[in-house]
Structures are given as C-alpha cells and as structure tokens.
Amino acid sequence: MNPRHVRSPFREAVVDLDAVRDNVASIASTVAPAGVMAVVKADAYGHGAVRVARAALAGGADRLGVADLDEALALRDAGIEAPVLAWLHDPAARFDAAIAHDIDLGASSLAQLESMADAAASVGRVANVHLKLDTGLSRNGILRGDWDDVVARAATLEAEGRVRIRGLFSHLANASPAEDAAQLSTFLDGVAAAERAGLAPEVRHLASTAAALRMPEARLDMVRIGIGIYGVPPFGDGTTAADLGLTPAMTLRGRIAAVRRVEPGTGASYGYTWRAPHPTTLALVPLGYADGVPRQASGRAEVVIGGTRHRIAGRVAMDQFLVDVGETEVAVGDDVVLFGDPAGGAPSAEEWGDAADTIGYEIVTRIGPRVPRTHVGGA
C-alpha cells in the first residue's frame, strides 16, 4: 500500500513509549553511577505524564520530577508510587495532601520550609524536603546570604522529626562552560554549609540533560533528565538526537483536508505574504496555532507528504495552514508529518524551532489539547 494513503486521524501526536524508555536507559548508562530523575512536568513536555512516567521508570529512572503539586498528585492518583519531587509552589500552597501522599517538596525559602514543617505536623508525618539553592540562575531558590540560617533551621526541624532533608539541588543556566563551572562551585559551597549544620541529604542534584551529557563533574548523586527523555537535543548547536544516541518520541501528523491548483500570482492565506510564483498545487493541512503550530514558522517550516518535503505557503492560521507541493501528486486524505524522527525523513522538532525562532522544547510542549495523543509501545 502506498504509505501516503494509510489513514491517520485528522490530527494526531504519536508518542513512542519505547523511545522514551530507551532514551532514559541510554542516558542512565552514560551518567552511572549517578541516579536519574525523569522530569515529567507540563504533562511530560506535552507527551502525556502518566504514560511517560511509567516508560521512564521502566528505562531505569529512580525518581520523577514535576513543577507543581497538582502534577505530583496526578501521578499518585494514577497509582505511581515512585519518589516524586515537586519544586515550584503557589505562595498560597498547602502542603498537607502532598505530604500525606509521600511527595517530596522543593523548598526555595525559609518561609516555605516552615510551612512544610507545619503541614507535616498537621498530618502526623515527616515532610521529605529538597532544599533548592540559588547558585546564579536568579529564579527561585534560597539566596546565598540566607543559606546558613536556612540549613541551621532545617537541622533543627529534622531533629524534631518534622522534616527530613532528602536532597539539595540547584539549576544551571547553561550559559557557558565557565559559568556552569562557577555555579557548580557555588553549589558545592552550599553543600558544605549544609553538612556543617549537620545535614546529610541522600541526593545532591544540579545537572539537567545538557550538563548530564557534557559536564560529568556536575552529575553528583543524581541528574534531572527532561528534554532528553523525549529525544530532543538540548544544545542548540546542530547536535542531533542521533548524535546523542536518542530517538525523538513525538511525531505530529495530520491529513490533507483539501487540494487545489492555482495560477501564478494567486495569494494564499492571510495578508497574501505568499503568492504563487508559477502554476502550482496547494494542500490544506488542518492544524494551526490553536494546536500549537507556531505562526512564527509561516513560510519557513517544512512538512513531509508521501516521503517528500514541502514548505508552508503563507501564514499559519488558527486551525490550518497551506503547503506548496508544486507538481507532486497529492490527494485529500494523504498523511502529512510536521515533525518526528529525522531517521525516517521527518523534520525534527529542532528544525521547527529554528523556523519559529525558538527551541525544540517549546515545539513539543506547546502542542494543544485538541490534538489527541496516541501512545504506542511500552509495557
């Protein structure tokens, strides 16, 4: 059967769970003996948190990481019992339910630490806490001038049986090798301060995917792998997934909804930013910026139809975009691949990121809820 006549849903993001598992296993073998935390925040970067979490654990991840408490509780509701860390909290957050469900909590201030200790007392359990140190990213995290006071208080709360300091962590800016090395040095100063206060955390973690792969000295006890799980390179320097031994997990695709032949000079889509330079064929693809296809990629990104690449013609609209297929024979219902695994000829998420002046992370994460996720592979 001609592959372009294989029926696919109107629009669909196919997520290969075997690729997720294998990507985690590959990185785990590279960073050993450091452990691996699989980061499944933002619905696993748009791939589906529960299914991806299970595949990542099958690939050798020791723990899971999310941004907020709701994401962590959703994993527990799905029956996932592995250690889960949540590190970004609403100022009004209550930690009772998280502690009751054995979720590790990232504390970025003394006030958060005190709130966690109070919540632990209210539910009669110990709060497992990872202290986050600001080492230069200037987002959240305990300011360096407050480290001594916070670790001293943490030691007191630990002695009282209200908290257990399970980890110390920070986040690299990935600005330059020298600046990342300076952040590592600063982080180790924070570790020393914690040890002087009598704390003995199980894990020190600093490296995300980029540092885990290229900065071995930053691996410490554990690395946090986010974008690498999904087979998207973190570097922005032309390094491909294949170069890193990874496989892109998501393929975004749809079907041609309409085909028309146009004459020279015919305008297409809003503003007529594109006009036919010669007689050509336009194919309509029913995905748009409401589905996460970036409008910034208008006239620049490419798709694959029947094994051939073609460029978007004109502006991406909310629900659809046009492709100039030239003299290629296409038909309504033909499969269209926006991005996926370049090993199979598809554009990569990074290529779409370049076309939209952004990064591959944003391309996969922004795919909207109107696009169903179809998970393949996995146990």
The pLDDT of residue 379 is 67
Give the up-direction half-sphere exposure of residue 290: CA atoms within 13 A in the CB hemisphere. Answer: 9
For the chain, what is the largest distance between any 2 Cα atoms, rounded to a whole number of angstroms?
79
Residue stretches of the chain with pLDDT short of 70: 1-9, 379
The pLDDT of residue 6 is 45
Task: Decide: helix, strand or coil at residue 330.
Answer: coil
Q: Are 131 and 147 in contact (CB under 8 A)?
A: no
The pLDDT of residue 5 is 42
Q: Are 10 and 334 in contact (CB under 8 A)?
A: no
Full set of structural domains in the chain with CATH: 3-11+249-376 (2.40.37.10), 33-231 (3.20.20.10)
- C-alpha distances (whole Å) from 22 to each of 19, 160, 184 are 5, 43, 29
Active site residues: 41, 270
The pLDDT of residue 378 is 85
β-partners of residue 13 are 252, 373
- Give helix 147-159 / helix 177-196 axis angle, nearest 10°: 40
The residue count of the chain comes to 379
Q: Are 230 and 23 in contact (CB under 8 A)?
A: yes
- C-alpha distances (whole Å) from 14 to each of 19, 62, 315, 318 are 11, 26, 25, 21
Task: Give the predicted TM-score (pTM) of the model.
Answer: 0.93
Give the DSSP per-residue string, 236-293. Answer: -SS--TGGGT----EEEEEE--EEEEE-TT-EESGGG-EE-SSSEEEEEES--GGGT-
- Give helix 147-159 / helix 110-123 axis angle, nearest 10°: 10
Q: Are 165 and 158 in contact (CB under 8 A)?
A: yes
Task: Decide: helix, strand or coil at residue 78.
Answer: coil
- Give helix 69-77 / helix 49-58 axis angle, nearest 10°: 70
